[in-house]
Amino acid sequence: MFTGLIADLGTVLSLAREGDGARLRIGTHLASELDAGASVAVNGVCLTATHVDGDSFAADAMSETLRRTSLGTLHEGARVNLELPLRAGDRLGGHVVQGHVDAAGTVRALREEGLSRVLTIEAPAEVAKHLVEKGSVALDGVSLTVSALSDDGFEVSLIPETLARTNLRSLEPGDAVNIETDILAKHVARLVELGALEAQA
């Protein structure tokens, strides 16, 4: 489990396609806190470190991960948001993030608004239905608050601290972003769906 508070901006040292999957090597000072088999969130995607070597680690992304997320579009030199799993007893500063991306959305627009930068994100309908205004959402692993909803997506506002500490500062219209909606919203939606099915039976 993660919180959506980014611990480091890592650098993709290599991305090698292997069959339907890919092997990534990422440089980061967080490697010293990892062992082989440990979990780490890369742009919001929970991956398993397969090999740790000094100041870098390797991880494999299977075909399902590449289909559902933007990891397959990474390139050598790309900066990625990294977070280690929450330890028992740690503060939950963001919100509960599983590292299970629901879908990749698309940045449709951005604008400066006072101290913040507002991103407009286009999201698939099956993802958007789990969003509520002022609710939580993770974009590329960053815990954010939904500031507005639209028919085909939503908006988030990035404060200067978020822009300084994450790769969201480099997003441009047309870029893909990994979206993970609030797990509580997904459970409630599923319970409501099952209740409606039972009522029809």
**Structural domain count of the chain:** 2
Domain boundaries, position 185? 103-190
Residue 25 has a pLDDT of 97
Find the angle CA(31)-CA(33)-CA(34) to the nearest 5 degrees: 65
Looking at 25, 52, 83, the residue that finishes a domain is 83
Q: How many CB atoms lie within 10 A of CB 201?
A: 5
DSSP string, 27-84: E-GGGGG--TT-EEEETTEEEEEEEEETTEEEEEE-HHHHHHSSGGG--TT-EEEEEP
**Tokens, residue 14:** 């290599």
What CATH number did the domain enclosing 145 receive? 2.40.30.20
Residue from 154, 165, 144 nearest 95 by CA:
144
Mean pLDDT by 10 residues, the chain (201 residues): 95 91 96 96 97 96 93 94 91 88 96 96 93 96 96 96 97 97 82 76 67
Q: 85-117, pLDDT tens digit by residue?
A: 998 888 888 898 999 999 999 999 999 999 999
Give the pTM.
0.92
**Residue 19 amino acid letter:** G
CB 79 within 8 A of CB 170: yes
- In this structure, the answer to whether residues 110 and 33 fall within a common structural domain is no
Residue 167, in any domain of the structure: yes
